[in-house]
Structure 1
Amino acid sequence: MAMKPNYNFEKRQRELAKKKQQDEKRQKKLARGGDKPAGDPAPTPPKPAP
């Protein structure tokens, strides 16, 4: 009798591979961006005190 394929294992492996790729992409993006903060293109200057 042939063994049944373990679809849960295959799905988990695909999910792990996808997560690894996303993490690598995020790391590459952070390294390429340098010290620029994400989401804040230009810091606002402080307002002078009255």
Structure 2
Amino acid sequence: MAKTNFQYEKRQKELEKKRKKEEKLKRKQERGSDTGESTEDGRSGDTQASGTEALPEPVEHDSQTEAP
């Protein structure tokens, strides 16, 4: 009988969580733009003051898989 690849399953769960989180954030942003909320200077409230987009989160690696 084949062994279960737990690392693959864990990665798939992480990707699913990330996808759901991004979808939730997208829905939140759409809802915020639909209400027409804006700051005093006329920009939407969900943009950052510097005008840059948020950086993606770093990918975590298991320390168990690395060679000593």
For normalisation by structure 1, the TM-score amounts to 0.69
Identical residues among aligned pairs (%): 41
Any residues of structure 2 matched to 1:1-50 within 5 Å, and which?
2-34=1-33, 36-38=44-46
The Cα RMSD (Å) is: 1.6
- Spell out structure 1 runs of 4+ moving beyond 6 A: none
Hey, which of these two has a bigger chunk of helix by percent? 1
Structure 1: runs of 5+ lacking an equivalent: 39-50
Using CA pairs below 8 Å that are at least 6 residues apart, which structure has the higher relative contact order?
2
2: distance between equivalents of 1:24 and 1:10? 21
SS at match of 2:13: helix
Partner of 1:42: none
Give the number of the structure whose alpha-carbon radius of gyration is greater.
Answer: 1
| Deviation, structure 1 residue 31 | 0.2
Number of residue pairs the alignment of both structures matches:
38
Task: Calculate the TM-score normalised by the size of structure 2.
Answer: 0.51
